[in-house]
Structure formats: C-alpha cells, structure tokens
Chain A
Amino acid sequence: MLVALFCITTICFMLIRVLPMSPPEGTNKAQQQVIEQIWDARGYNDPLIVQYYNYLKGIVTEWDFGTSWKIDTTTPAWNLLVGRLLPTILVNLYSLLFAIPIGIIAGIYAAIKKNKWQDHVVSIMVILFVSVPSYVYAFLVQYFLYFKLDLFPPTILSLNDSGGWLTWKMFHSMIPAILSLSFGTIAGLARSTRAELTETLTMDYMLLARTKGLTRAQATTRHALKNAMVPILPGIIGSFIGILGGSMIIEQIFAIPGVGQLYIKSVTMRDYDVFMMDSIFYTFVSLLAGIIVDISYGFIDPRIRMGER
C-alpha cells in the first residue's frame, strides 16, 4: 500500500508541478515582496527533482504538505485540510448511523418476505434509489423540505449562527444533507443484505436449526443473519473509512465547508499545493479503506484467509 501511495504521490506531484505556477499577488508592494520571498525560500524555483526531494523531506521530517497560496495565503495546506475534516466527518457519520440500520432492516424484511409484494416494493425502491444520482435527491430534499414545507434551511448554517459543530441547531440544519446522502447507502445495503440473507436462508443448516426446534425468528437471527453479515460487514467498515472522503456534490449543494468543497475550490482557484494535499488524502483514504476491508474479512470470518482462491 505504501508503495502504491508513493507511486501515486510521485505521479501527482510531477503532473502538478510541471504546470505553470506563479506566486499570488499581494495587496501592496511590501506584502508582495514577502510572498515572493516565501515563494523563493520554499524552493518553488528549483528544478523539479529537487522540489520533489524537498517535498518528501518536508512531509517526513516536519509533516509539511506545502502551502496554500490562493485560498488562504501562506497557511500550511495540512492545517487547511484538518480544519475541513470535522464537518465532512460529522455529516457522513450521521448519515451512516441513520442509513445502516434502515438499510439492513429493509434488506432483512425483503429477504424474509421473499417474492411477496413487500419484497417487490423493497426491490423497486432499491433500484430507484441506487440508480438515481445523489444530486437529484439533494434537489428533491431541498425542494420539499425547504421550499415547500420550510422545515429546514436550504444550506447548513455557518458556525456563527449555530454556535459550533456539535450543537443541536447545526444538526438540524444538516438533516437535509444527511437525508440525501443516506438514500444511496440505504438502497445499497438493503440490496446486499437481501441477496446474502436469501442465500443463507435456503442453506441446509437452517433446516437443521428448524428441526431441532428453533422458531423461525430464532433460526434467522442466530444462524442465517450471522452468516449473511460476513460479506456485508467489511463493506460497512470500509464505508466508515470512506466518510473521511465525503461526497463532493452534496457538500457543494448544501454548502458544507468540508474536504470535498476544499478540493473543488483548490481546482477552480488553481491552488496547487492544496490540490496536491487533497489528492494525497483521497488516495490514502481509498487505499486504507481497501486494506481495512481485506483485513476485516479475516477477523469477521476466520475461515477466510488472504491469498486463498
């Protein structure tokens, strides 16, 4: 994983640094001079290889990921990113906490009522929710909850209005974003839960469990559900890691000052160091999620060993 991360970082760095870059313009001459001095001191005029060496050295020795030049001039890129993490994590965490129980319960319900009308209803909902793009939900949620019913503000509140990230007011204003993030997760979970559970319900050990006198509910919860969860749980764990990345489009629509929004901003404002930092971050998160999923398979079900085919 580290090798992969190193390779990707190298490619990204080279691709970004070959772009024409110039120091930002200060408001007056004195500030301009200071900015240019910092620019020079940080080695932006050196050859590419030297720059890369310095960059890696900075990361390893001082945890220095470069400097933001356009978004927040001369702030370290790492600080900028860390400041954006909390809102992203909060919204996604709420959404997962909301979506996982509903998704699993819907999946179990559909599996138990297999091929009855309840199952068909759930299946149709799943197809709808999986297919429709998340921004369409976001618009629908905004339209009905804000424009028609006026229950929630259209975008989340600023820190001044709500008094902090963890206040009730902030949570209330986050609900539309949480809802629109949840639909897709609910549908995906319901689908995989249903698929796995219908498979385990037809297994021979279920018949055995019933013959030894367990009721249907007991057999389902104690035997079928546990086995059905084996492929699902790693996915859930992976999505908990994935919440670090967040969803750009939802953050954009609901004006959440999170990592995704920072990324868009760094691209549109051509703030390359922040862009670099964000790219590394995304890569790291996706690689980490993959590894944790792989490892968790082994923990959840010891029968599965890595490398077996």
Chain B
Amino acid sequence: MAKDTNVVSIPKEKFEFAMVGERIKDQKFDDKPIGYFRDAWNRFCKNKASIVAAIIILCIVLFAVIVPFFNPAEIGTVANTRYQNKVPRNLALSKIGLLTGDLDIQYNEKGFAYIVGIGIAADTDFENIPSVGEALEEKSPLMPVTKIDSIESVMQGRNEKLMYNAKVDDYLQVGFAYIDVEQAEYNAMLAWQEETGIQLIYPMIAENDYNFAKLSNDTNNAANWWYKTNSRGEPVRLNSKGEPVVIKYDDINELVLEENYQRDAEGNLVFYNYKGGGTQETAMYRVRTLYYNYYRYTHEGREPQFFFGTDTSGYDMAYRLAIGIRLSLLLAVCIFAINFVLGAMYGAVEGYYGGNVDLVLEFISYVLSGVPFIVVATLFQIHLAAKAGPIPSLLFAFVLTGWIGTASLVRTQFYRFKNQEYVMAARTLGARDRRIIWKHIFPNTLGTIITASVLAIPSVIFSESMLSYLGIVSLGSPTQTSVGTLLSNAESLWTTYPHLMLFPAAIISLLMICFNLFGNGLRDAFNPSLRGVEE
C-alpha cells in the first residue's frame, strides 16, 4: 500500500512540553484505607437487627452484673421461708395496677373467714372486733383481701355452698408468725414499734380447746388462728354456759369472730411468752408478729417488694435470675475463649501439616466427637463434681468436645490458604512454619472462626440450662443457681405461680434469640458471600 505521505508537517517550534516542572505521580487516596475488620464493622453496623440484639445482650449482661450489687445481701441471699413463690410486687407500679402482688384465689366460707380474719386481727384495736363486712368496708392497708371479684354458689353434695373469688395480697396472706427473740431484741422491737407507730407485736393466742392450730397440729399457720373455732375450723362463740356454739349467719358480712387471745389474771392481753434462758440477755421470748410488719422491721422499714417475685426457696427472683444468667454467660465466655484457642491451634496444625499428622489428629477428633455430649457431661459430673465442684466439671465437659467444630473449620481454611502465592512467597523468604501459620494464614481465617464461636454460645447456654434442668448438674445453692435449676424447681408449681416459669424462660429465650441474631450479623459482616446460607 502506498504510504500516506500527505502529512502536514508541523514546525518544531509549535510543539510544547506538557507538564514541565510538574512531578508526575498517582493521585493520593482521599479516603482512609479500609481494612478487613473495619469493612466488617461497617457492614455489621448496617444490620439493624444485629445491632438491636447486641444492645439487648448488653442490657442483659448489665442486669446480671449490676443486680447482685444493688440487691442488699439480706434480700438476695437469705432464703425467706415465709415468702416463697411470692408473685411480683412493686409498690410504685401497683398504683397504676401493675405488679400489685395480688393472687386470684377461690375460698369457701371457712377459708374466707380465715383470710379476712388475718386482716381483722392485724388491726391495732384488739378489744372491739368488727364484723367481716365492716372490716372489708374499711379497707385497711393490712387487709389481705383487696377485692372480691365474684361470689358463686356451688353444690357440694346436697348442700349449697358459697365460693368467694377474691384478689388476695400474696404478701399479706402469710399473716402472723411466731418468732423467738432474746430479750434485748424484744425491747428493740418495742422501741421500733413505738418510734414508727407500726404495730409489730401482737397478742399471743390461748392454747385452749378452741385453738384450731392446736386441734389440727397446723404449725405453719399457728399464729393465724386467733379466733375461736371448733375442730373443723368453723368459727364458734361461747354461750352463757361456756359451751362452744358454731356462729350462725345468713350473710358472711355479719359474722363477728370471737377472739381467743391469752389473758393474764387481771384480764390483760399477753404479748409474749417466756421460752427459757436465765439472764437478762439470754432470756428467750416468743412473740407473735404480723410477718409483713416484721419484714419491715428487719429491712429498715422497707415494705416487701420484688420486681420478679420470689423463687421456690424464698430468694428474690431478680437476684437469682441475675446470678443464673451471670453463670451462663461466664461459662459461655470461658468456653468461647478456650475453644477458640484450642480449636485454632489444633486445626492449624492439622491443616498446615496435612498428611499423616492430619489423619491421626482427625481420627482423634472423630472419636471424641462421637461421644454424645450428654454422656461426657454426666461422666464428668460423676467423677469430678465432688472434687472440683459442679461448675469446673461442667466447664471441662464443654471444653472436651467443644473445640472440635472450631478445629475442623480452621483446618478447612488452612487447606484453602496454604497453597496460595503469598504463603509460598513467605516460605521462599525463609519464614518458619510457626511464622507462616500465625502471621500469614491465621489472620485470614479469623473472621470465620469468630463467627462460628459466637454462634456456638447459644448452644452452650442451652446445654447448660438443659443439664441443670434435668438434674444431671446440680447447681442449686444459696450463692449459686442456674436458669435451668430455677425452671426445674418451678416445674410442679408454675400453673399456680406462672411467674416462676415466665421470667426465667423469657430471659433465656431472649438471650438465645439475641445471640443468634448477633452471630448471624457477625457472619454476614465477615463473609458477605455467605449471607443467607446456613451452615
């Protein structure tokens, strides 16, 4: 082809140097460099559900850490045998009708007289006893019956019986209690009663033939049978001849109970019984107190209120839940850390060296993973619990097989990365195995391992609560408990007292849901390619 000679020749002078005196270089990045973890963090922040879950987990952790500090020792750790299974009660919230501490109970007439009787006897006027109707009308703050919902008549055999459906304050219905105190304590109680104006010491009950507690050997409620009854617990009155007559009434509101208090020779009420002991300080007195007021006396005037109620042993449920959750979380975190380290080392060695090392180590982990976890946990409990305590042996059981999952993950990651160019480059430069493993390959596997370990936390919490629920691990003691123990204690009682089941079950469910969401969020953040894929 002919050469195109038709080129316009441009004179030399017309050419100009471009960028003379300028330094030619790439532009600097305006943004900061974003590393792998920074990138993951940014992605994690975009996932709203995970953020919410993380916040809730934080709240539960704070609850578990803070509540035991704020709970005075005597509320949290001393089992209050009088206040067992009490329903939640909070004085501030009860004004708007929440957590009133009320329980719906159905009474027959005898029972109704008994429960209203506790309120009548709590009144400080021991001589003029009002009728049931008047006492209910008066609405004293110490009256257990707060509201009568309905009265229905039920056929019992041939007789028609009235049943009273009432709302009863769970803390007041305990009523009175006999308490043995030293004389100094007795004087202190009198002084406190004087100072605050709250009646603490009530008249003693006569141990005669009209005392139902004596007739029926009812020691639990002995201090509550302050009125005269016959052996069937029906209120009686002494007629002019001194014979007991069952009080007849058309309407229970007209019923006036007849008191059965102890009186001395002059007819004055007796407020204490001498129970033995010689000197001034050691003389023991038995006194009858209204337990509600006694609680205020022993707790610096505070009325009993438990936000989550009390548990089956009479401990504050909030405190027990907090230490239960604290135990679960501590276990979970310990196991997370130990499994992380063990699994990473084991898996790194397996994956990096491969070959026969891999075969042997894989077989060991295969055998270990074949043992069902529950068997491991049981064996550890049987062998170690007596020597090392139940919690360390539980920890050992979790650790024995827990690292296998992490190890196999690390192993696959190592297989993936160990033949990459950068590893070869490092090796050619003379890096030792240890350096290649930890400096070059391991950081690449970190995201996957963290995610898997976090996702293992809920299963640890679940297994722990399951083992303690089944009674394989026994964790119930004054200073230690677990959510599973609380649940198994509640097992036979929770239909009457739903709060025993509700709060532990709710908090553990919440914790598990949040950990799962949090773990999913982490996984999406570290491996965006795995989003939506479940392992």
Contacts and interface: CB of A to CB of B under 8 A. Distances in A.
Interface in A102-141: 127-128, 130-133, 135-136, 139
B372 A282 contact: yes
A267 B370 CA distance: 20
A239 to B, nearest CB: 15
Chain A interface size band reads 35 or more
A192 B498 CA distance: 35
Interface string B405-416: 000000000010
The binding surface of chain B is classed by DSSP as: helix
A252 B470 contact: yes
B83 interface: no
A135 B466 contact: yes
A131 B516 contact: yes
Contact of A131 (B366, B371, B375, B513): B513
Given A4-B366, A4-B370, A136-B505, A249 B466 contact: yes
A133 B462 contact: yes
A85 B301 CA distance: 59
A253 B512 CA distance: 21
B470 A264 contact: yes
Nearest to B412: A309
The binding surface of chain A is classed by DSSP as: helix
Interface stretch (A12-20, A68-76, A218-226): A12-20
B371 A15 contact: no
B230 to A, nearest CB: 37
Given A4-B370, A275-B378, 7 more contacts: A127-B520, A136-B508, A139-B501, A147-B495, A245-B372, A252-B470, A267-B378
B474 to A, nearest CB: 10
B533 interface: yes
Which 3 pairs of residues, A with B, have the shortest CB-CB distance?
Answer: A131-B513, A282-B372, A131-B512
A155 to B, nearest CB: 11
Interface of B: 363, 366-367, 370-372, 374-375, 378-379, 382-383, 415, 458, 462, 465-466, 469-472, 487, 491, 494-495, 498, 501, 505, 508-509, 512-513, 515-517, 520, 532-534
Contacts of B372: 245, 279, 282-283, 286
Given A8-B367, A264-B472, A19 B378 contact: no
Given A127-B517, A133-B512, A249-B469, A4 B374 contact: no
Nearest to A129: B513
11 contacts: A4-B363, A133-B466, A135-B487, A191-B534, A195-B532, A253-B491, A263-B374, A275-B378, A282-B375, A283-B375, A309-B415
A248 interface: yes
Contacts of B516: 127, 130-131
Contacts of B378: 267, 275
Interface of A: 3-5, 7-8, 11-12, 15-16, 19, 127-128, 130-133, 135-136, 139, 143, 147, 191-192, 194-195, 198-199, 245, 248-249, 252-253, 263-264, 267-268, 275, 279, 282-283, 286-287, 290, 309
A283 B534 contact: no
Contacts of A130: 516
Nearest to B514: A131
Contacts, number: 94
Contacts of B462: 133
B470 A249 contact: yes
Contacts of B494: 139
Contacts of A198: 532
B375 A264 contact: no
Contacts of A128: 513
Contacts of A268: 471
Contact of A279 (B375, B465, B472, B509): B375
B263 to A, nearest CB: 49
A195 to B, nearest CB: 5
A253 B484 CA distance: 13
A135 B470 CA distance: 11
Given A127-B517, A147-B495, A198-B532, A15 B383 contact: yes
Given A195-B532, A199-B533, A283 B470 contact: no
A194 B533 CA distance: 9
A135 B464 CA distance: 13
Given A139-B501, A283-B371, A131 B509 contact: yes
A138 to B, nearest CB: 10
Contact of B508 (A133, A252, A279, A309): A133
B193 to A, nearest CB: 44
